[in-house]
Structures are given as structure tokens and as C-alpha cells.
Chain A
């Protein structure tokens, strides 16, 4: 369909949506007028029940830990899907061709090398960034943070290595097989922790480890362990997706 037809349909749909939206906001309470019970109940009991101070992480990794497990499987699925969609559809001699072409395409690559400013900045910031990501992951139950946020920070720190150097350096530092294996282990750890509860004849993913003292780093029972496992799984998963996209660089070089 042509562009004008598309635009006409879009504007008609937008006007209809606006009309229905305004009509449906009839008795909705105003923004800021929170009536519901769940927020009040959780704010009142979580600190005493689980000895953690971050309610959002407690909801994510304890009260609704099943949802987070499904989220991690969604992430794993996207990693596998990206790797499959970007797979190199050529013959098996490709691997030897790759290594040979890598060596003699160092001079005639069309990708410009990074500037000194980028390299200097990346050198300075990679270490603190990994440390910061680990801090966010392990202190998820005390201050804002958790597995997902810290995992992405750690993965971005490794991406800075690619930005500072080129793909060969990145491949030497971050081994692809290692990343893939660690991702599988981290996901397996999450499900295994869930089975700990069933060994004691309680529910799956029940919080059965000792709770500790509120304010400690190791507190909240399984909340801390699940947060760390999620952090590692997300970091390695994002690195896998980055690998799938960066392998395209090899294809560009060998063309």
C-alpha cells in the first residue's frame, strides 16, 4: 500500500483511539491516588518477613520469583534466536578462511581504528564499571538494583573493550565458549535454587535459606543468591547477543 494510504489509516486509527481513551478514563482515580492494598501490605511486612530493604527486588526474586524465571528464559530465547538469525550460512571451510583472512586483512580493513581518546577513556573506565556492576548485582536487596540492572552494566563494560580495540582483541579477552557455558550454568543455578525448597517439602522457589540481618549484603535468604545468578545470566546473555552481532564484522572483512 502506498504511503498516503498508510498515513490516512494511521490518523483515522489515532483519532479513534484518542476518543475511546478519553471515554474510558471516566471513573479512573486520579494519578497519585493509589487505593490498592498490595503496595501497602508489601511496604509494611517485607522488611520484617524477609530482612531486606528493597521491596522491588523482594517482589522480583521472592514473591514473584516464578515470573523472573520465565523472564530469564525469555532472555535466553532471544539470545538463541539472535544467534540463529545471524548464523553464518556458508560451508565448513569458512573457519580456516576466516583465520587466514583475519591475518591479512588487518592492513586493508575498511573499519577505521578507534581514536586515542576512546581508547584512553575505555582503559580508565572498564575496571570501575565492572566493579560498579558487581556492586549493583550484589547489593540488589538493599538499595535500588538487582540482577537485571547489574548484569547489563557488566555486559556494557565488556562491550567497551570492543569499542576501544577491534574484534580480534575482544575475542581474545572474552572467550565465546566460556561465556556460553557460564550462561547455561547461571540459568541452571536459578532453577536448582528453586528446587531447594522442594527438597524440604515446601513450594518451588520458596525462600528456605537463612534470612540474615537486615542491612547485611548476604541477607534475604534466596533473594541474594537468585539476584547474583540472574546478574551472571543476564551479563553473559547480553554478551552472547553482542557476539552474534559482532561476528558480522568477520563477514565484512572476508568479503
Chain B
């Protein structure tokens, strides 16, 4: 199974998407969106992995040992910041919706009235 990590990422993506589709509570929905975003981390890290590679930290490790790719790890750091951002904004919207309509269930919301 040479592509196992990519299939794991696909499974996590589908599980998160299923949670979003069948969610009955806004907070649960935000957690499922976070799970969705974790699938992208798995793909990034799997793309930069090297079998038998050490982490790209040379503190005490001689320069020249084969490490895994550090560039995708830096990309992933920024990705996590974006996830925290999206979760904070979505939760703010959820709080305001609960205050305005009294329910946290997406399917119990009524349509907007102009």
C-alpha cells in the first residue's frame, strides 16, 4: 500500500464532510469543519515525508542526515492558523444565531425575512 496516507486523508475528509452534512448543532458543525481541514494537513505531510528521515531540527544532529521536507511543515503551520481563524469566526456566527433564534439546530432556522 504505497499510497495509504493519501487514502487516510480522503477518509478523514469524507468523515468530516458527512458530519457537516448531517449536523444538528452549530458547534458540532464547526468541529467537523476543523476535521475537514485536518485532511489537508495529512496530504501535505505525506507529500513531504521521507522514509527513515529525521525531523528537520539539527540541534545535536549532525548536518547531512537525511531529513523530511521542512517546507511543507512550514506550510502546515500557516494552515493551522487559518483553521483557528475560520473556527473563531464560525463560532461567533453560531453564538449570534443562537441568541437571535433561540436554537442551535441548522435545520430549525427559518428563512430570512426582508
Q: Which of A55-63, A127-135, A202-210 contacts the other chain?
A: A55-63
Q: Which of A32-72 contact B (CB under 8 A)?
A: 32-34, 36, 38-39, 42-44, 47-48, 53-56, 59-60, 64, 67-68, 71
Whether B3 contacts A56 by the Cβ 8 Å rule is no
Whether B78 contacts A67 by the Cβ 8 Å rule is yes
20 intermolecular pairs with C-beta atoms under 8 Å apart: A18-B10, A18-B14, A28-B6, A30-B3, A31-B4, A34-B50, A54-B56, A56-B73, A56-B74, A59-B71, A59-B74, A60-B78, A74-B82, A77-B85, A78-B85, A79-B88, A86-B95, A148-B77, A245-B91, A245-B95
Whether A31 contacts B3 by the Cβ 8 Å rule is yes
Please give me the 3 A-B residue pairs with the lowest Cβ-Cβ distance, nearest first.
A30-B2, A32-B51, A39-B69
Q: Which of B57-114 contact A (CB under 8 A)?
A: 57-59, 63-64, 66-71, 73-74, 77-78, 80-82, 84-86, 88-89, 91-93, 95-96, 107
> Number of contacting residues on B, CB 8 A?
48
Q: Which of A3, A14, A43, A142 has the most CB of B within 10 A?
A: A43
Residue B25 interfacial (CB < 8 Å): no
User: Which residues on A sit within 8 Å (CB–CB) of B22?
Assistant: 3, 6-7
| Given known contacts A6-B21, A71-B81, A81 and B92 CB-to-CB distance under 8 angstroms | yes
Whether A78 contacts B84 by the Cβ 8 Å rule is yes
List the A residue with the shortest CB-CB distance to B86.
A78
User: Which residues on B sit within 8 Å (CB–CB) of A244?
Assistant: 92
Chain B interface (Cβ within 8 Å of chain A)? 2-6, 10, 14, 17-18, 21-22, 46, 48-51, 53, 55-59, 63-64, 66-71, 73-74, 77-78, 80-82, 84-86, 88-89, 91-93, 95-96, 107
Is chain B's interface secondary structure helix, strand, loop, or mixed overall?
A: helix
Whether B71 contacts A78 by the Cβ 8 Å rule is no
Whether B85 contacts A75 by the Cβ 8 Å rule is yes
| Given known contacts A34-B68, A67-B78, A245-B91, A54 and B51 CB-to-CB distance under 8 angstroms | no
Chain A interface (Cβ within 8 Å of chain B)? 3, 6-7, 10, 14, 17-18, 21, 25, 28, 30-34, 36, 38-39, 42-44, 47-48, 53-56, 59-60, 64, 67-68, 71, 74-75, 77-79, 81-82, 85-86, 142-144, 146, 148, 215, 241, 244-245, 248
| Given known contacts A10-B18, A71-B81, A78-B85, A85 and B10 CB-to-CB distance under 8 angstroms | no
**CA A31 – CA B9 in complex, angstroms?**
13
Whether A82 contacts B88 by the Cβ 8 Å rule is yes
| Given known contacts A34-B69, A42-B71, A53 and B85 CB-to-CB distance under 8 angstroms | no
**CA A109 – CA B49 in complex, angstroms?**
53
Distance (whole angstroms) from the CB of B12 to the closest CB of chain A:
13
**CA A128 – CA B98 in complex, angstroms?**
37
8 Å CB contact of A85 from B2, B6, B92: B92
| Given known contacts A54-B59, A78-B89, A28 and B3 CB-to-CB distance under 8 angstroms | yes
Whether B63 contacts A47 by the Cβ 8 Å rule is yes
